[in-house]
Amino acid sequence: MGHLRDDIYPMYNRDQSVEILAVSIGEHPTTVQNWLNINPMPFPVLVDQSYEVYQLFTNSGFPFNVMLDGEYTLRHRVNGYNQSQMIAWIDEILEEAPAAATNWSELRAMY
């Protein structure tokens, strides 16, 4: 998550059409909160103890990153972290769809 916090978030945090969500998979909420107390994140960190999100998007290892567009369509999925690839994907999605098409509170409620 440090890469998202340190590399990606500063580039897009002022853009209302980009939302970064992190998901901690398999950990107890208390464990996640204790870690976040030491390593604060400027974006929401969801807890998926039952691996539902993991099974929804992938089943091939950690860490993994997904990109959804403004209509919640899965656009990209990759294991690991590649900053230049993530930036290219975000820029691609932003060029295609207006910011107003995204309702992030609805997406958060889905997961």
The domain limits of the chain are: 2-110
Asked whether residue 29 carries a pLDDT value surpassing 90, the answer given is yes
Q: What is the pLDDT of residue 39?
A: 92
What is the residue whose two structure tokens read 């567009």? 69
Q: Report helix, strand or coil for 75.
A: strand
Q: Report helix, strand or coil for 46.
A: strand
What pTM was computed for the model? 0.69
Q: Who's near 76: CB < 8 A, 6+ residues apart? A: 65, 66, 67, 89
pLDDT per position as a tens digit, 45-79: 889 999 888 888 766 677 777 888 777 888 888 77
Give the confidence band of 38 by pLDDT, cuts at 50, 70, 90: very high
Average pLDDT, rounded, for the chain: 79
Q: What is the pLDDT of residue 73?
A: 81
CATH 3.40.30.10 holds for 2-110 = yes
